[in-house]
C-alpha cells in the first residue's frame, strides 16, 4: 500500500512535506514503532512518541547538528527530551538516524538490563544527553546547558562559529505546569539565552483528562512576558514547516525561543488519538492494526517489517550527513586553533582540568590560626574565589551571595554579557539546582550554587537527578542548624542534613573548621565525578589544633581529631560546629578519668566507602561506648554508635532566639554529651567510680 495514496486521498495526511517516498516511509516507521512495542508488552508510552515522530524525524535528519557515529562530538547540538516518558520517540530516532541502538534494544525497552530504560538515562543509551522523566527537569537543565555553551562561545569562540551549539528540548504540558520550568524559563528570558529552543508539545492532554481541568493559562503569553520569542508550528505532520520553524528558532538572536506545536496525542489513531488514554498503555490489538494500515503497513507487521530498505536508506543518509557536519566543523576548529592559540590553550586547559590544578588553587587559600573563630561559610567563600580565579568553577547564588559568602569580583552574566563571571540566579532555588546539572553536562566548569540549608528542600528533585547521573554539581548550603538563631524555625534546618544523606551518590560534607573546608574541597575535586552538598556554619567556630595529613584523613570521611591517652574508653563522633563541642566534653570526661577520642566525621558517605582498616582505626569494633553529636535529626547516627551508644541531636523544630541559647534549649551542650557518654559506658557494662577510674561490670578497673 502506498503511503502517499493513504495520506493524500484521505484528506488527513500522516506525513506532509517529505522529500521522497523513502522519507515518508521512515516517518511512518517512526510513528508505527511505539504502538507496536507498547502493544507487545502492554505497558509504556506510545502517544507522544507517535504524534511527535514527524517533528523528531525532522530534528534528527534535517536540523540537529550531530554525528551518530560520534555521539560525544564536541561541536554537536544537544537535544534533551524533557518529556522523558516519551522515551520511545527518542530511542526510535536514535536507531533510525544510525546510533548504536538496535530494533531489538527498542523492543526490550522498560525491561531489566535493557539499553533502553523506561525513561532516558545518561550513560545507558548512546545519544542520550541527560536522564529525564520527572517533568520540567529536562527543560530546566537545558537552560543550564545552553547557558554554559553560550558562555563557552563568548569566552573562546572569537566569532569563528566553532562553539556555537544550540540546545533543543522537547517539553509537554506537564513540563510547563511544573514550577521548576517556570523558574528556569524566567531566568532564561532575563539572561537572553538565545541558543536555547524549547519545543512545546501543545497536545492539551494529561493523565486525568484535558489540560483545562487545571491548566487554562495563556502559555504563549506567559513566555512572551518572560522575554522569549514564540513561534508556531501549525501542522505537526508537515516536515517542511517543522524544518523552517526550527531553523528560524535556531537563528533567532537576543532571546530564547519557544516553538509551540499543536499536536494530537496518539495520532493517527482514530479511537485513542486526542484522548487521555493516549498517554500510556497499549492502544489495543485492533486499534494498533488499524494504525499500521493507516500508515501503509500490514496490520500485523513486525518491527523488522516496519523498517524496510527504504528506511535504512534514510538512516545511511543521516550518518553521512553527520560525518560531513563533523568534518566541516573540524576544519573550522583547526582554523580557530591556528588563529587563536591562546584561546585554544585556555579552553584545552579547562577541558582537561586535572585535580592537581584545583588543589594548587586551594593551596592559596589562607587559613586562620589555631584558636581563632571563623565561620566555615567564610572559608568556603575564599575557596570558591580561589577556584574562580583559576577559571575552574562557574555558578552563583539564589539572591544570597553576600550571606553565603560566594560574592565574587567581576561582572555577572547578563543578556549583553554572556561570558560573565557568575550568575545571579534570583530567588529560584529549584531551577538553580537543575541549571547546575546543565552546566555540569557541558563539562568545562564545576558548577556551584548557594542558598540556606533550610531551602535545600526546594531542590531535592534536581539533586536526585544529579546524583543519578553522577554530575559534579556542588551545592553550597550555609546557616546549617538552629544556631541560625533569631530568624526562627522557618529558617533553622533540622531534618535537612539527615534527609540529604539518604540520596544515593550525594556526598554531604559538614566541615568542623576552616582547615577541614579546604581539605574537603581537595577531596571533592580529586574523587570521581559526583554531586556534593557542603553544609556550612553561619556562626563562627574555633579553628582546631593542627592535624597531620588532614587532606587524606578528610578524604576518608572521618578521623580522630583529638584524644586523651589511648582514647579507648568512649568515642565521641561529631560533625561541623559540634566537633569543638565534643572536644570540650572529652576534656571534661578526661578529668573524670575517661580516655575518649573525638572523631570528626565531615562526610559520612566517604567514611562508609573507606577501607575496613581505616574504619577500624577510627572506630574500633571493640569500642562499644560511643556518642554521636549533631545539631539536627539523629536517628541515622545509630548506624555508627550501635544499640549501646547515645545520640545528642535535635529532633524537633527550633525557636526564635539567639543561636547559642536555642542550641542550649534543644540540648546540644557539653553537659549533654558528657551525660550521654556516661550512659553509653554504663550500657556496655562500665562505670565511672568516684575516684575517676573506669571499671567494668565486674568492678575491675
Q: pLDDT tens digit string along 325-339?
A: 999 999 999 999 999
Find where cell 484528506 sits: 11
* Residues 182-216 pLDDT 10s: 999 999 999 999 999 999 999 999 999 999 999 99
Judged against a pLDDT cut of 70, whether residue 285 lies above it is answered with: yes
pLDDT band at 310; cut points 50, 70, 90: confident
309 compared with 78, residue with greater pLDDT: 78
Q: Which of 23, 178, 326, 429 is catalytic?
A: 429
The answer to whether domain 3-325 and domain 355-542 are alike in fold is yes
State residue 10's pLDDT score.
37
Indicate whether 698 pLDDT > 60: no
Answer positive or negative: Cα dihedral of 641, 645, 647, 648.
negative
Look-up: residue for cell 580565579? Answer: 389
The rounded percent of the chain whose pLDDT value lies above 70 is 96
Domain boundaries, the chain: 3-325, 355-542, 556-696
Residue 481, all three cell numbers: 542548624
CA distances from 632 to 323, 477, 490, 625 (A): 55, 14, 14, 21
Residue 112 neighbours by CB distance under 10 Å: 6
Instruction: Give the CATH architecture of domain 3-325.
Output: 3-Layer(aba) Sandwich (3.40)
- Superfamily name with CATH number, domain 355-542: Thiamin diphosphate (ThDP)-binding fold, Pyr/PP domains (3.40.50.970)
- Per-residue model confidence as pLDDT tens digits over 230-261: 999 999 999 999 999 999 999 999 999 999 99
Strands 229-233 vs 257-261: parallel, antiparallel or unpaired:
parallel
Q: Which class is 556-696 in CATH?
A: alpha beta
Given a cut of 90, whether residue 129 has pLDDT beyond it is yes
For the cut 80, the answer to whether the pLDDT of residue 1 exceeds it is no
Q: What is the mean pLDDT of the chain?
A: 95
pLDDT in tens, 453-485: 999 999 999 999 999 999 999 999 999 999 999
φ/ψ of 651, rounded to 5, equals -120, 25
Residue 571 CA, chain-centre distance (Å), reads 36
Q: Averaged over 575-599, what is the pLDDT?
A: 97
The residue written with cell numbers 524496510 in the block is 308
Is the pLDDT assigned to residue 688 strictly greater than 60?
Answer: no
CA distances from residue 279 to 41, 272, 273, 276 in whole angstroms, order as listed: 16, 9, 10, 6
Catalytic residue flag (residue 429): yes
Cα 127 from Cα 287, distance rounded (Å): 32
**What end-to-end distance do the CA atoms of the chain give, in Å?**
95
Amino acid at each position: 500500500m502506498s503511503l502517499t495514496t493513504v495520506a493524500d486521498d484521505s484528506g488527513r495526511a500522516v506525513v506532509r512535506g517529505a522529500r521522497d517516498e523513502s522519507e515518508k516511509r521512515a516517518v511512518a516507521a517512526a510513528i508505527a514503532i511505539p504502538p507496536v512495542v507498547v502493544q507487545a508488552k502492554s505497558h509504556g508510552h506510545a502517544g507522544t512518541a507517535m504524534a511527535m515522530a514527524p517533528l523528531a524525524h525532522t530534528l534528527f535528519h534535517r536540523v540537529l547538528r550531530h554525528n551518530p557515529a560520534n555521539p560525544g562530538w564536541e561541536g554537536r547540538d544537544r537535544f534533551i527530551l524533557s518529556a522523558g516518558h516519551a522515551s520511545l520517540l527518542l530511542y526510535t530516532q536514535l536507531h533510525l538516524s544510525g546510533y548504536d541502538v538496535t530494533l531489538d534494544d527498542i523492543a526490550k525497552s522498560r525491561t531489566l538490563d535493557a539499553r533502553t530504560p523506561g525513561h532516558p538515562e545518561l550513560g545507558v543509551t548512546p545519544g542520550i544527553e541527560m536522564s529525564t522523566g520527572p517533568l520540567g527537569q529536562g527543560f530546566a537543565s537545558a537552560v543550564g546547558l545552553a547557558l554554559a555553551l553560550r558562555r563557552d562561545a563568548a569566552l573562546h569562540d572569537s566569532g569563528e562559529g566553532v562553539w556555537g551549539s544550540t540546545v533543543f528540548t522537547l517539553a509537554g504540558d506537564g513540563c510547563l505546569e511544573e514550577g521548576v520550568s517556570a523558574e528556569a524559563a524566567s531566568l532564561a528570558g532575563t539572561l537572553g539565552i538565545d541558543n536555547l529552543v524549547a519545543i512545546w508539545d501543545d497536545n492539551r492532554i494529561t493523565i486525568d483528562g484535558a489540560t483545562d481541568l487545571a491548566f487554562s493559562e495563556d502559555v504563549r503569553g506567559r513566555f512572551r512576558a518572560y522575554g522569549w520569542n514564540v513561534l508556531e508550528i501549525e501542522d505537526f505532520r508537515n516536515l517542511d514547516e517543522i524544518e523552517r520553524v526550527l531553523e528560524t528558532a535556531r537563528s533567532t538572536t537576543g532571546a530564547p525561543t519557544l516553538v509551540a506545536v499543536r499536536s494530537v496525542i496518539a495520532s493517527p489513531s482514530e479511537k485513542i488519538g486526542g484522548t487521555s488514554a493516549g498517554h500510556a498503555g497499549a492502544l489495543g490489538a485492533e486499534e494498533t492494526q488499524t494504525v499500521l494500515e493507516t500508515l501503509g503497513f500490514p496490520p500485523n507487521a513486525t518491527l523488522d517489517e516496519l523498517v524496510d530498505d527504504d528506511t535504512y536508506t534514510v538512516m545511511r543518509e543521516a550518518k553521512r550527513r553527520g560525518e560531513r557536519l563533523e568534518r566541516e566543523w573540524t576544519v573550522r576548529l583547526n582554523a580557530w586553533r591556528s588563529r587563536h592559540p591562546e584561546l585554544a590553550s585556555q579552553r584545552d586547559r579547562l577541558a582537561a582540568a586535572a585535580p592537581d590544578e584545583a588543589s594548587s588553587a586551594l593551596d592559596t587559600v589562607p587559613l586562620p590560626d589555631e584558636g581563632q573563630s571563623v565561620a566555615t561559610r567564610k572559608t568556603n567563600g575564599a575557596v570558591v574565589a580561589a577556584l574562580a580565579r583559576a577559571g575552574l568553577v562557574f555558578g552563583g547564588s539564589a539572591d544570597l551571595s553576600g550571606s553565603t559568602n560566594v560574592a565574587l569580583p567581576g561582572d555577572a552574566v547578563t543578556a549583553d554579557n554572556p561570558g560573565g563571571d557568575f550568575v545571579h540566579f534570583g530567588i529560584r532555588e529549584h531551577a538553580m539546582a537543575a541549571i547546575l546539572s546543565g552546566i555540569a553536562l557541558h563539562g568545562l566548569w564545576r558548577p556551584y550554587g548557594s542558598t540556606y540549608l533550610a531551602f535545600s528542600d526546594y531542590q531535592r528533585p534536581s539533586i536526585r537527578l544529579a546524583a543519578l547521573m553522577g554530575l559534579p554539581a556542588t551545592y553550597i548550603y550555609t546557616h546549617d542548624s538552629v544556631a541560625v538563631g533569631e530568624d526562627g524555625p522557618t529558617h533553622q534546618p533540622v531534618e535537612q542534613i539527615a534527609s540529604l544523606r539518604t540520596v544515593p551518590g550525594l556526598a554531604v560534607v559538614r566541615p568542623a573548621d576552616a582547615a577541614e573546608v579546604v581539605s574537603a574541597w581537595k577531596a571533592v575535586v580529586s574523587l570521581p565525578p559526583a554531586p556534593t552538598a557542603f553544609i556550612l556554619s553561619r556562626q563562627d567556630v574555633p579553628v582546631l589544633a593542627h592535624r597531620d595529613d588532614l587532606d587524606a584523613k578528610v578524604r576518608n570521611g572521618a578521623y580522630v581529631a583529638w584524644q586523651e591517652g589511648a582514647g579507648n574508653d568512649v568515642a565521641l563522633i561529631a560533625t561541623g560546629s559540634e566537633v569543638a563541642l565534643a572536644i570540650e566534653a572529652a576534656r571534661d570526661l578526661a578529668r573524670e578519668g575517661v580516655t575518649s577520642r573525638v572523631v570528626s566525621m565531615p562526610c559520612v558517605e566517604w567514611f562508609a566507602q573507606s577501607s575496613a582498616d581505616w574504619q577500624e582505626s577510627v572506630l574500633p569494633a571493640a569500642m562499644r561506648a560511643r556518642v554521636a553529636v549533631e545539631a539536627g535529626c539523629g536517628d541515622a547516627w545509630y548506624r555508627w554508635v550501635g544499640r549501646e551508644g547515645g545520640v545528642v541531636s535535635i529532633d524537633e523544630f527550633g525557636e526564635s532566639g539567639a543561636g547559642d541559647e536555642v542550641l542550649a534549649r534543644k540540648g546540644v551542650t557539653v553537659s549533654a554529651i558528657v551525660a550521654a557518654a556516661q550512659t553509653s559506658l554504663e550500657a556496655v557494662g562500665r562505670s565511672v567510680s568516684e575516684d575517676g577510674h573506669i571499671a567494668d561490670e565486674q568492678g575491675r578497673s
